[in-house]
Structure formats: structure tokens, C-alpha cells
Amino acid sequence: MRNVGARLAPSLARPFRVVHVLWAILILLGCVVLVSMGGGHPPPMVFVPPLILAGLLGHLLLWLIQWLLRKGRARIAAGSAPAAGWPPELILIALVLGFLAIMAIAVTIGEIALLRTRPLLWLMYAGAAVLHSAAFVLLLLRIDRVRLLIAVICFGWAFALVLQVPEARTGELPFGLALIAALLALAVYVVRARRVRSVLR
């Protein structure tokens, strides 16, 4: 298993190295812009430490994703049957899940004050963060049961949109209904599609 992981490590390291460099450049440019903006109240420089912290967290997240991908590929390579490569739609699902997981975690932390005033709402945020994060991790590890979890998330989003239909404006209604139909179709596709099942174990 370790030999398999060692063989897979270089192919994963190269693209992630580029992303690490681009992320570091982006954070550096942001710091330079904040410092060059001069005075104010509050001065823009006070946002430099949080930006640096965000940069460090971004690097940690990239390392975590790389580690999970390596573990997932090692699981597949150690199996009895080879797995297919990631189809584009599954890559897109992984990116969306990762984005939603990060946003849900950020909202859960940012709205921690709701734990006292509106605990059920905060628990809903926390539950969404756990579900999206778990789906993202399981997908990177290529665990087959993630298909059902992704379907549950799609049905959950579709149900949340259905609750908004009575309040939707006339021009927004067709788009909302199309989005609900797309989420339901995606749930069925992820569960049944052979292209998805061939990547997972």
C-alpha cells in the first residue's frame, strides 16, 4: 500500500504545487494592496493579519485535499479491479461540494452567536456543514457510499428551494423550478450512473 502511494505521489504533487504558488501570490498581492492603501478608519493594514491567516488555512486545505486524493487513489490501485478516471461531471461535483462545505463551515463559525438566540437555526447550519464536508471527504477517498450522501444533499437543496417557491417572483419561478428539476436529476444520475460508480469502490 505504501509503495502504491509513493508511486502516485508525484503525479498529484505537480498540479498542487502550482496551485500553492498561485495561492501564495494572490495572498501576497492582497497584502501589498492593503498596505499601499494608506490610512483610514480602520486602516486597511489591520486586515493584513486575517488575510495571512486565510492564506495559511488555504495551504492547509490544499495539503489536506492532496492527502485525501492520494489515499483515494491508493485504495483504488490496491483493489482487484482498476477504476476509471474521474469524469468531468464528478470533478465538478467535487469542486461544488468543497466550496459548499467551506461556506457552510464559515457560516457555522460566523453565526455561533445564534446558538443562544436561535439554536435550531445554528444546528441546521452545523448539520449542513457536516453533511457537505463528509460528502467531500468521502468523494475524494472514492468511497462508494458517497453516492447516496450526495443524493441526500441534492434532495435537501431541492426541498429548500421548494419551500421558497411561494415567495418567488414571477420571473424567478421558471429558473427556480428548473434548478429543482436539475437537482433531482443530479441525485438520480449520481446514484445510477455507471460513469460515477466506476470511479468509486
Residue type, 105: I
Residues 99 and 179 in one domain: yes
The DSSP line for 101-132 is HHHHHHHHHHTTTHHHH-HHHHHHHHHHHHHH
Residues 92 and 44 in one domain: no
Residues 149 and 137 in one domain: yes
Residues 77 and 96 in one domain: no
What pLDDT is stored for residue 79 in this prediction? 67
Q: Which of 57, 82, 107 is the last residue of a domain?
A: 82
Q: Which residues neighbour 199 within 8 Å (Cβ) at sequence distance 6 or greater?
A: 83, 84, 85, 86, 87, 90, 142
From 3-17, 81-95, 105-119, 156-170, the region with the lowest mean pLDDT:
3-17
Residues 26 and 112 in one domain: no
* Structural domain span for residue 96: 84-201
Q: How far is CA 95 from the centre of its chain?
A: 5
Residue 18 CA: distances (Å) to CA of 22, 53, 70, 72, 85: 6, 20, 17, 21, 21
pLDDT tens profile 114-150: 777 888 888 998 999 999 999 999 999 999 999 999 9
Backbone angles phi, psi at 145, to 5 degrees: -65, -10
* Choice between 171 and 164, residue whose per-residue pLDDT is larger: 164
Q: Considering only CA atoms, which of 137, 7, 118 is closest in space to residue 69?
A: 137
What pLDDT is stored for residue 181 in this prediction? 95
Q: Which of 47, 82, 117 is the last residue of a domain?
A: 82
Residues 65 and 155 in one domain: no
Q: How far is CA 166 from the centre of its chain?
A: 30
Q: Is the peptide bond before 88 cis (omega within 30 degrees of 0)?
A: no
If one counts the domains in the chain, the total is: 2
Helical axes 146-164 vs 119-140, angle rounded to 10°: 140
What pLDDT is stored for residue 166 in this prediction? 81
Q: Is residue 5 over pLDDT 60?
A: no
What pLDDT is stored for residue 6 in this prediction? 44
Residues 54 and 66 in one domain: yes
